[in-house]
Amino acid sequence: MFTGIVTDVGRVRSIERRGDTRIEIATAYDMGGVAIGASICCGGACMTVIEKAGDGSGGWFAFEVSDESLSRTSIGTWAAGTEVNLERSLRMGDEMGGHVVTGHVDGLAVLENVEPVGDSHRIQVLAPDGLEGLVAEKGSVALDGVSLTVNGVQGRRFWINLIPHTWAHTTFRNRRSGDVLNMEVDPLARYVARLLSTNAAPGGR
């Protein structure tokens, strides 16, 4: 479980495509404190550390990606040098700074527009078909692993204001119109929608 508060922007070191795809990420994390088998949210997708190196000021870690994950996320578009938002999993007692993020990507959104507004940036995003009902004004959504507050919604489109800190400390600073974003809706919205659909179905209660 994560909160959508990015704590490092890593960079893809290498990608090896075989049975599954193996990816190495360079990071500033102290890898001496990261266990093999630990979960790290990589661009919004929860991945399992299978190999690592380095300690102190940083190093790298590796994970494997299945075809299922490649088909549902933007990971298939990554290349050596791609920047990736990173967050280590929550521990008991950690501050809950964003909202509950599972690292299970619901679909690929499209960044349609980026507009400077004062010192901030306003982005317009097109939600994947079928997810528009799970995005609400003043609700939360995770894009590329970043916990964000929705400012407005119209159909599948929604708008978000990125404060200077978020812009400077995430991969959004390098995003352009047309880029795809890993999108995870608020888990509460997902379960409420499931409950409502079950109750509305014939025989539901």
Q: What is the pLDDT of residues 45-65, one digit of tens each?
A: 999 999 999 876 779 999 999
Q: Write the CB contacts of 24 (distance below 8 Å, at least 6 apart in sequence).
A: 12, 13, 14, 15, 51, 60, 61, 62
Q: Which residues of 116-131 are buried (b: 16+ CB within 10 A; e: fewer)?
A: eeeeebbbbbbbbeeb
Mind listing the pLDDT tens digit for each residue in 124-144?
A: 999 999 888 899 999 999 999
Per the CB < 8 A criterion, the answer to whether 125 and 175 are in contact is no
Average pLDDT over residues 69-76: 94
- Give residue 180's pLDDT: 97
Beta carbons within 10 angstroms of residue 74's beta carbon: 21
Average pLDDT over the chain reads 91
What are 173's two structure tokens?
Answer: 């600073």
* pLDDT-derived band at 201, boundaries 50, 70, 90: low
* pLDDT-derived band at 186, boundaries 50, 70, 90: confident
The SS3 call for residue 99 is coil
- Give residue 27's pLDDT: 97
* Confidence check: pLDDT of 105 > 80: yes
- Give residue 54's pLDDT: 86
Element (H or E) spanning 68, and its range?
Answer: helix 67-72
- Give residue 196's pLDDT: 66
- Give residue 146's pLDDT: 97
| Ordered structural domains, the chain, with CATH | 8-88 (2.40.30.20), 107-195 (2.40.30.20)
Per the CB < 8 A criterion, the answer to whether 123 and 144 are in contact is no
